[in-house]
Amino acid sequence: MEFKGYRRSNGSVGTRNYVGILSTVVCANEVADGISRQVRETACFMHQQGCCQTPVDIKRVNDTLIGLGRNPNLFSVLLVSLGCESTGVEEVATAISAEGKLVETVVIQDIGGAARSIAEGVLLAQAMVEEASKMERVLCPVSDIVLGLKCGSSDTTSGLAPNPALGIASDLIVEEGGTSILGEVTEFIGAEHLLAQHAKNGQIGRQILDFVKRMEDRAKSVGADIRGGQPTGGNIKGGLTTIEEKSLGAIAKAGTAPVLAVYEYGVAPQVKGLVVMDSPGREPEVLTGLAAAGCNVIAFTTGRGAPQGFPFVPVVKITGNRVTWDKLRDHMDVNVSAVMEGAETLPEAGKRIFQEILEVASGRLTKAEISGYTKAMDIYMVGPVI
Partner 1 sequence: MKIDAIMIKEEDNVATALREMQPREKAVVGIDDKSIEVLIEEHIPYGHKFAVKHITKGENILKYGEIIGRATQNIASGAHAHIQNIESLRGRGDLD
CA pair distance 76, 6, nearest whole angstrom: 13
**Residue 277 contacts partner 1 per CB under 8 A:** no
Q: Is 36 or 337 the residue whose CB approaches partner 1 more closely? A: 337
Tell me if residue 290 falls in helix, strand or coil: helix
CA pair distance 268, 323, nearest whole angstrom: 37
CA pair distance 155, 41, nearest whole angstrom: 35
Instruction: Find, among 303, 265, 291, 277, the residue nearest to 383 by Cα.
Output: 265
**Residue 271 contacts partner 1 per CB under 8 A:** no
Q: Is 55 or 342 the residue whose CB approaches partner 1 more closely? A: 342
Among 85, 216, 369, 378, binds partner 1 (CB under 8 A): 216
CA pair distance 313, 300, nearest whole angstrom: 12
**Residue 338 contacts partner 1 per CB under 8 A:** no
Instruction: Find, among 117, 105, 172, 116, the residue nearest to 143 by Cα.
Output: 172
Annotate 229-257 with b (16+ C-beta within 10 A) or e (fewer).
ebbbebbeebebebbebbbbbbbbbbbeb
Contact 276, 186 (CB under 8 A): no
Q: Is 260 or 349 the residue whose CB approaches partner 1 more closely? A: 349
Among 4, 7, 200, 227, binds partner 1 (CB under 8 A): 227
**Residue 321 contacts partner 1 per CB under 8 A:** yes
**Residue 221 contacts partner 1 per CB under 8 A:** yes
Among 189, 204, 268, 349, binds partner 1 (CB under 8 A): 189
Among 36, 86, 230, 308, binds partner 1 (CB under 8 A): 230
Q: Is 111 or 248 the residue whose CB approaches partner 1 more closely? A: 248
DSSP 239-270: T--SHHHHHHHHGGGGTTSPEEEEE-TTPPPS
For the CB of residue 195, give the shortest distance to partner 1 in the complex, in Å.
12
Number of residues this chain uses to bind partner 1 (CB under 8 A) = 36
**Residue 86 contacts partner 1 per CB under 8 A:** no
Among 238, 269, 281, 350, binds partner 1 (CB under 8 A): 238
302-141-45 Cα angle (round to 5): 50
Stretch that binds partner 1, among 44-52, 131-139, 231-239, 356-364 (CB under 8 A): 231-239
Q: Which residues contact 16 (CB under 8 A, 6 or more apart)?
A: 6, 43, 73, 296, 312, 313, 314
CA pair distance 244, 242, nearest whole angstrom: 5
Among 303, 305, 309, 311, binds partner 1 (CB under 8 A): 303
**Residue 202 contacts partner 1 per CB under 8 A:** no
Among 39, 65, 172, 191, binds partner 1 (CB under 8 A): 191
147: Cα separation from own chain's centroid: 9
**Residue 104 contacts partner 1 per CB under 8 A:** no
Q: What's the distance, Cα to Cα, between the start and end of the chain in Å?
A: 50
Pairing between β-strand 103-107 and β-strand 138-141 as defined by DSSP bridges: unpaired
For the CB of residue 239, give the shortest distance to partner 1 in the complex, in Å.
4
Among 55, 202, 342, 372, binds partner 1 (CB under 8 A): 342
Q: Is 83 or 229 the residue whose CB approaches partner 1 more closely? A: 229
Tell me if residue 85 falls in helix, strand or coil: coil
For the CB of residue 216, give the shortest distance to partner 1 in the complex, in Å.
6
For the CB of residue 92, give the shortest distance to partner 1 in the complex, in Å.
35
Q: Which residues bind partner 1 (CB under 8 A)?
A: 155-157, 159-160, 189-191, 194, 216, 219-227, 230, 236, 238-239, 241-245, 248-249, 303, 321, 323, 340-342
